[in-house]
Structure 1
Amino acid sequence: MSNRTASASTDTESAPKRFSPRKLLGSFGFQILVALVLGIILGLVARGIGPDAEDAPNGLAATLDVIGTSYVTLLKAAVVPLIFTAIVASISNLRRVRNAARLAGQTLLWFAITALIAVTIGIVLGLVIQPGSRAGEGLEPSDPYTVGSWWNFLIGLIPQNFLGLQVSSSFDAEAGAVASSVGFNVLQVIVVSAVIGLAALRVGKKAEPFLSFVESTLKVIQRVLWWIIRIAPIGTLGLIGSAVVKYGWEKLASLGWFAIAIYIGLALVLFAVYPILVRSHGLSIRQYFSGAWPAIQLAFVSRSSIGTLPVTERVTERNLGVPSAYASFAVPFGATTKMDGCAAIYPAIAAIFVAQFFNIELTPLHYVLIAIVSVFGSAATAGTTGATVMLTLTLSTLGLPLEGVGLLLAIDPILDMGRTAVNVAGQALVPTIVAKREGILDEKLYNAPRQGLPFVDDSAEETPAVDLDAEIAAHDEEVHAGR
């Protein structure tokens, strides 16, 4: 009887898994894909309807815009507490790591190496494809809404207050009222967090209660972010639909060669450079992509390295086998400074585009400056959506017209999706490479089989992988159970 049971069990295990429509519909990846398609369709419909009688957006266009902006607002609301707790906790976790200084130095070195490779690819593509010379008609230069410079960057490192809050006001002449808004300087938040984290290390045992509180707070904030991530398909529908309504295909057609150059560069870094680095360190390319894909996919949708941080850190630890104590330092640090997409590929091609558009000849020195800015200035992007600050920093360093930024803003959301995906892929790659080089990578965990969709079930102890769907389902069970 036991033999028959064992035989039946073996047959069951070896039998192919049946397709489950319910499981497919519940898959986070499938939901994102559907949201992308629906967003494009609804955006085209809203654009076809056109504005209402008062030249205001029609109801469908306004709804898509509200959905998209609301989702981005939710992500931004979590940025400050997430950055503060993540960086303080990551620095404090270094006390648990052997050769912490060496690991930090290796991390910075590989950040610079991969950024240099990426910016070189960007420069070559800009010179070969000549996107600025092929720009279509209807492009009008305009002043950028924000400008980056080395001086402003250095001044911006000095905290004005503990939270890095900034208040800006504007006077509306028609309404006769003053409108004020409160924002935050991410660079200042990073500086404050780093100083507090280092101070806690110096204090020693007396800082243990504080560090425990910060780590607990980080877990709570990450749970809130999981809730925000859960509604990412809805946010995706609004963001994509609103982009189609605002920009349509005309601007994309005018900047088609520029967009092509950017995405070729991003594809070369993601699917050529990174695999070569993975393979050169004796690791499986397939395992890297299957392990990091949940974070890469979410980054493509959210357009925020900081918003994707909890997923990136989780897959780096549980899928790629990087020790938790090191990953909790390297990944948050990378989420604010490691930007191969936004700070290397994009500003290199964009700067060359602007020079070509305005018929300005660049010298070899200019290309060296582009590389230097990309390697050392990536912190200017600070993990937020968009790379305008980094581009203006590059243009101002080269002495190119800042009005050129206005040429590219129309298709920035489309480009930012790919840029952020590459950013996050690099943020997972570098800790993996460094851990391998230092002999602390759990290769058994790295090479563990990942079954089914990229979001593999990690609810069972024997499956060392990460599943966003399983995480959400587990949370729901906890809520319903009253835990």
Structure 2
Amino acid sequence: MRRIPFSVQILLGLVLGVALGFVARATDQGWLTSTLDTVGGLFVQLLKLAVPPLVFTAIVVSVVSLRGVTNAARLAGKTLLWFGVTALLAVGVGIGLGLLTDPGRGVTLDTAAATAPERTGSWTDFLTGIVPTNPVGAFVEGNVLQIVFLALVVGAAALLVGEPAEPFVALNRSLLEIVQKALWWVIRLAPLGTLGLIGNAVATYGWDLLAPLATFTTAVYVGCAIVLLVIYPVVLLAAGRLNPLRFYAGAWPAIELAFVSRSSVGTLPVTQRSVERLGVPREYASFAVPFGATTKMDGCAAVYPALAAIFVAQVFGVDLGVTDYLLIAFVSVVGSAATAGLTGAIVMLTLTLSTLGLPLAGAGLLLAIDPILDMIRTATNVAGQALVPTVVAAREGILDRSAYDAAGRRDLTEPVGTVAPAAGTGVLSTSRG
């Protein structure tokens, strides 16, 4: 199997999973569906199991290693800026497609039977989602944003303490190496996990549920495709002077895994490895990628809520004005951070609907096909999470261009070849104004 490129292995798992899913659905083989569900679920659980210690130790080590770097704050600011810029472009695509396609016109659904989802979003989730009630709870629940917050606080404290904190920092470096080694054992199982995840999705949902919502489903896929194939390449060319084909060759394993796993957080380790292979310094990538996995969601927090809000408004006969569309854009850019500690695009959608004053029950109309929509949404999320660090690194002059050009020619499971530079090397410093 090592002779077969890793991305090809995942593609083979995808094809075989679709085939087995259709067999299970056509022949009503419950045992096969259950097996596929178990295989896919265990793979995602293993990925998520490694995420909390990976994020915490990586950020703690990165904060301490930035002791001699003077532009860390600027890198963080520019990362957040480009998160916002690309989110604004993505929500513009969603609103534009919604106005062109009218996804809710002519749709006959039983709105009286629709109920609001159990979990809904609110603006107070921003503060309560960042600060944990206790540090253990953040790790038990796998709340990545809270873990990032804790890691930043602990890393900053260790940085200020200095020499007495070196044993603690050394422990985190050792734990990071151990977690990364164990993690790649899990990543090698990605083709098998892909088979189970996509197979269960096809066996459980099929495609017959899409008929009443065909226009909306098509609009979501087309909108995400425009972001992936038009918006992102333009950003790469205009802002970073980077070849888009090289970017997608390097980021493809993460995008592919995101499509089938439907989890930005579960894909986080692969996304970070892909970003490093694209030439982004590990110190910076260990900040930008975990932040992106919780706050950078162009599929779930931009394209989808915009289209879904227009759909719900049309189904319930509510006319939206210019102010409403501006509110959709505002929620997409800012709201993703407010719901970062929660799971799923439904929470983001309910936040958008409540801000516009639309019925929250409208979100319930879309729950039946949400897993199918979530595949392309998550792939778009992860592509954006890899895009921004790459563009920022290119603009700041810290991107390894030779690594970027060679990223697509190497297997993801091969060693990166370099470790994070020691503190004080100034690898992230730049003379750009």
TM-score by length of 1: 0.79
Shift of 1:296: 1.8
Structure 1 or 2, whichever has the larger Rg, is: 1
CA distance in structure 2 between the aligned counterparts of 1:214 and 1:197, rounded to whole angstroms: 10
Which structure 2 residues correspond to residues 324-363 of structure 1 after superposition, within 5 A?
324-363=282-321
Q: 1:41 aligns with which of 19, 26, 36?
A: 19
CA distance in structure 1 between the aligned counterparts of 2:93 and 2:205, rounded to whole angstroms: 28
CA distance in structure 2 between the aligned counterparts of 1:459 and 1:87, rounded to whole angstroms: 21
CA distance in structure 2 between the aligned counterparts of 1:441 and 1:284, rounded to whole angstroms: 13
Q: 1:89 to 1:308 in 2, by over 3 A?
A: farther
Q: 1:48 to 1:361 in 2, by over 3 A?
A: same
Which residue of structure 2 aligns with residue 291 of structure 1? 250
Deviates more, 1:368-377 or 1:229-238: 229-238
Q: Percent identity?
A: 59
Which residue of structure 1 aligns with residue 5 of structure 2? 27
Task: State the AA in 2 paired with 1:291.
Answer: G
Q: 1:86 aligns with which of 24, 47, 58?
A: 58
Q: 1:314 to 1:90 in 2, by over 3 A?
A: same
Q: Could you say what the CA RMSD is over the residues aligned between the two structures, in angstroms? A: 2.7
Shift of 1:300: 1.9
CA distance in structure 2 between the aligned counterparts of 1:296 and 1:258, rounded to whole angstroms: 23
Deviates more, 1:270-279 or 1:154-163: 154-163
Which structure 2 residues correspond to residues 2-17 of structure 1 after superposition, within 5 A?
none
Q: Deviations over 1:203-253 (max 9, x none)?
A: 223223222322332232233322222222222222222222322222122
Q: Deviations over 1:304-344 (max 9, x none)?
A: 222222222222223x2222222222222222221111111
CA distance in structure 2 between the aligned counterparts of 1:403 and 1:35, rounded to whole angstroms: 37
Q: Deviations over 1:41-84 (max 9, x none)?
A: 22222223348xxxxxx222222222222223223323332332
Residue 403 of structure 2 corresponds to residue 445 of structure 1? yes
Task: State the AA in 2 paired with 1:109.
Answer: L
Does the 8 Å contact 2:258/2:264 carry over to 1? yes
Q: 1:67 to 1:84 in 2, by over 3 A?
A: same
CA distance in structure 2 between the aligned counterparts of 1:116 and 1:263, rounded to whole angstroms: 18
CA distance in structure 2 between the aligned counterparts of 1:433 and 1:228, rounded to whole angstroms: 29
CA distance in structure 2 between the aligned counterparts of 1:159 and 1:232, rounded to whole angstroms: 31
Residue 134 of structure 2 corresponds to residue 161 of structure 1? yes
Does the 8 Å contact 1:344/1:375 carry over to 2? yes
CA distance in structure 2 between the aligned counterparts of 1:75 and 1:427, rounded to whole angstroms: 18
Which residue of structure 2 aligns with residue 172 of structure 1? none
Aligned to 2:120, what secondary structure does the other structure show?
Answer: coil
Which residue of structure 1 aligns with residue 425 of structure 2? none
Does the 8 Å contact 2:121/2:347 carry over to 1? yes
Q: Deviations over 1:329-370 (max 9, x none)?
A: 222222222111111111111121111121111222221111
Shift of 1:259: 1.5
Residue 269 of structure 2 corresponds to residue 316 of structure 1? no
CA distance in structure 1 between the aligned counterparts of 2:68 and 2:380, rounded to whole angstroms: 30
Q: 1:83 to 1:444 in 2, by over 3 A?
A: closer
Question: Which ranges of structure 2 fall in alignment gaps of 5 or more residues?
Answer: 419-433
CA distance in structure 1 between the aligned counterparts of 2:317 and 2:377, rounded to whole angstroms: 27
CA distance in structure 1 between the aligned counterparts of 2:192 and 2:364, rounded to whole angstroms: 29
CA distance in structure 2 between the aligned counterparts of 1:225 and 1:383, rounded to whole angstroms: 23
Task: State the AA in 1 paired with 2:122.
Answer: S
CA distance in structure 1 between the aligned counterparts of 2:28 and 2:406, rounded to whole angstroms: 52
Q: 1:455 aligns with which of 400, 411, 423?
A: 411
Shift of 1:186: 4.0
CA distance in structure 2 between the aligned counterparts of 1:340 and 1:399, rounded to whole angstroms: 23
Q: 1:382 to 1:264 in 2, by over 3 A?
A: same
Which residue of structure 2 aligns with residue 479 of structure 1? none
Q: 1:426 to 1:37 in 2, by over 3 A?
A: same
CA distance in structure 2 between the aligned counterparts of 1:157 and 1:456, rounded to whole angstroms: 32
Does the 8 Å contact 1:306/1:384 carry over to 2? no
Does the 8 Å contact 1:96/1:325 carry over to 2? no
Which residue of structure 1 aligns with residue 368 of structure 2? 410
Which residue of structure 2 aligns with residue 152 of structure 1? 125
Which structure 2 residues correspond to residues 375-390 of structure 1 after superposition, within 5 A?
375-382=333-340, 386-390=344-348
Q: 1:406 to 1:96 in 2, by over 3 A?
A: farther
Q: 1:127 to 1:427 in 2, by over 3 A?
A: same
CA distance in structure 1 between the aligned counterparts of 2:102 and 2:259, rounded to whole angstroms: 26
TM-score by length of 2: 0.87
Q: 1:226 to 1:142 in 2, by over 3 A?
A: farther
Does the 8 Å contact 1:106/1:434 carry over to 2? yes
Higher relative contact order (CA 8 A, sep 6+): 2
Does the 8 Å contact 1:157/1:191 carry over to 2? yes
Q: 1:450 to 1:74 in 2, by over 3 A?
A: closer
Aligned to 2:365, what secondary structure does the other structure show?
Answer: helix
Residue 100 of structure 2 corresponds to residue 128 of structure 1? yes
Aligned to 1:345, what secondary structure does the other structure show?
Answer: helix
Q: Deviations over 1:352-394 (max 9, x none)?
A: 1111121111222221111111111223453876322211221
Aligned to 2:135, what secondary structure does the other structure show?
Answer: coil
Q: 1:87 to 1:337 in 2, by over 3 A?
A: farther
Does the 8 Å contact 1:187/1:379 carry over to 2? no
Aligned to 2:204, what secondary structure does the other structure show?
Answer: helix
Q: Which has the higher helix share?
A: 2
